[in-house]
Structure 1
């Protein structure tokens, strides 16, 4: 069972009553083609937009779920320009994030105006202001590589320093905080295993969360994962991990049951004990994201996220392999996505050359 998919589907179902009926209809239509995780992100985008409409007086509805289709039809391109400015200034969203949020709205408006019908077979939305808006996907590898500079672990040496920091050096940062020290000592072996596995394989955080104990083959150094974007999302695929990942996992598995008491039915690899509970459960995606952010900020790389650990692995891996092996390891549908790491490795090699203290003899 794909745990993340099931969890996100439940969260999606819980959120739908917050929205107008036509959003629920849109979500049901899109569930055939898009994952619950993607649609959950869409609902967050819709919530931001609808809240903005209410704040700007563009609807008289007292709550989001009462916003009517006529309110959407009355929107002007000037309104949408103001919303883009709102995302930029108030939310401080990057260009890529703004474009993504607008793309989700375009998808909703397109469905309402071109696909969904009323009882008389007319479009639900008679006027689609979003059709006038041109959005662009930020996919240029050079541009994306430039944006990642300073936000990932640049080379093998820095990757090792970060793992060592999680394993032992973080305690120096929290030496004066007994409570933080207590939680760190209890979880540092698990945290090291998670960070090391991602940096040794490049798997996504959702793929790490889905792992069960039986999915790990330490002898062959293979993790059997639910691969995002797979043609068969319910079939596991095998991904290799490096020796560093094996050592960290082996250490964690030795203390897993002792440090995280759990029911005999709990098969999750990575466990956490919820506050107020004596039984450990599968660690959530959000918990892993927060854990990595905590260490990254203390390490001095505040922009380093759990997803950027994947970028860090990929950059290091690409330096030693070709683009096709990197594509397969990361589970990319095409090499167009993997091309990012060609640009990143160029930057990494340039920095390495610049660090050499070579004197030119005149």
Structure 2
């Protein structure tokens, strides 16, 4: 029997092939770095590093007069050694708004984008410095971009109920043409949104599910979590019903070859992708709230907050969400919510009534 290639295995294959293509455009010495980190990083991390490092070399080619006549493959470790902290400060400023090669559209980076790119460069430089291939590491002489804390956005209990009700019944408010399309995807969309709200799985974990990953005997999902570990996540009756209703519809779908095992199908009868799930969450949630930008990750935050409020067990929340560090969980899900703040307003009496 031929071995089935899972979604995550296919992603790794695709990323490996993409990485090889990117490395062909970069200086030869860069390959040493990627070989060294291949056993400690995911393919997703490595391809992101490759794109970020390529942006750095493109910056040197277009913005640094010393390298105007270079091609990217001509850079050497000696050139790396000549880069100064001032060059890197100019690079950070460049990243805030720049045009990639062969593109007229500006790309911008906020705090998190800047930090990721400088972190990639630090890791890159650290490898060559540690192995004494260069004498200087200018990335240690610059400050990392500061991240300002963002308010955690999640749905309130009444908004969760409204969202699920809307997905179930909004066909009543649509034109006949809209309703025809809506009816095709209603059970799938309801199953996806109920699953995200009822288990807190990541959107990448959701789209990667195969039908064989469902266990209705124990009401469990088998997940490959971030970092590569496998675990079971359990779900309740509402998720069970939404999944079973969708599976009845799924029986009538003949998928494209290679997509037979996917749990959730797109309208093209292929495995649904992350972008499609993001779009459907956005489409439904804006009918419920206009002040919150709801994404699949916000549904995960909603689940995490609800689980913490119900159990008060931050370690359980960390485990179920697949966080390796409980401090990440504390930061996001143990934040004081509005209802507790309102209690604080009534707790202190200034004068006896």
Same fold (TM over 0.5): yes
Q: Which residue of 2 aligns with 1:162?
A: 163
Deviates more, 1:297-306 or 1:80-89: 297-306
How does the TM-score come out when normalised to structure 2? 0.80
Name the residue aligned to 1:129: 138
Partner secondary structure for residue 84 of structure 1: helix
Distance (Å, rounded) in 1 between the aligned partners of 2:83 and 2:258? 55
1:260 touches 1:273 (CA, 8 Å); kept in 2? no
1:243 deviation in Å?
2.5
User: How many aligned positions are there?
Assistant: 331
Residue matched to 1:252: 246
**Cross-structure match for 1:98:** 114
1:6 matched residue in structure 2:
10
Q: Is 1:291 aligned to 2:259, yes or no?
A: no
Match status 1:339 vs 2:330:
yes
In structure 1, what is the Cα distance between the partners aligned to 2:72 and 2:276? 29
Structure 1 stretches lacking a partner, 5+ long: 116-121, 275-279
Counterparts of 1:39 and 1:264 in 2: how far apart (Å)?
26
Q: Residue 49 of structure 2 aligns with which residue? A: 42
Match of 1:119? none
> Would the alpha carbon gap of residues 314 and 260 (structure 1) be closer, same or farther in structure 2, given more than 3 Å must change?
farther
For residue 60 of structure 2, the aligned residue among 53, 58, 61 is 53
- 1:274-285 pair list within 5 angstroms: 274=268, 280-285=269-274
Q: Give the whole-Å Cα distance in 2 for the aligned partners of 1:309 and 1:263.
A: 32
Alpha-carbon distance in 1 for matches of 2:258, 2:19: 32
Matched position secondary structure for 2:184: helix
Distance between the aligned counterparts of 2:10 and 2:146, measured in 1?
29
**CA separation in 1, counterparts of 2:172 and 2:80?**
53
Aligned CA distance change for structure 1 residues 86 and 296 (closer, same or farther; 3 Å): farther
> Take 1:185 and 1:49, find their aligned partners in 2: how far apart are those partners?
48
Distance 2:167 2:76 in 1: 50
Shift of 1:104: 1.0
Structure 1 residues 86 and 244: CA distance shift in structure 2, 3 A: farther
Structure 2 stretches of 5 or more lacking a match? 99-106
Deviation at 1:237, TM superposition (A): 1.4
Q: Map residues 14-33 of structure 1 onto 2, 5 A cutoff.
A: 14-18=18-22, 19-20=25-26, 21-33=28-40
- The answer to which of 193-202 and 89-98 deviates more is 89-98
Q: What is aligned with 2:260?
A: 266
Give how far 1:188 is off: 2.7
Larger Cα-atom Rg: 2
**Structure 2: how far apart are the matches of 1:5 and 1:37?**
12
Cα distance in 1 for partners of 2:89, 2:294 equals: 31
2:184 aligned with 1:186: yes
Structure 1 pair 347–302 and aligned structure 2 pair: CA distance change class (3 A): closer
More relative contact order in 1 or in 2 (CA 8 Å, sep 6+)? 1
Structure 1 residues 23 and 352, CA, compared in 2 at 3 Å: closer, same or farther? farther
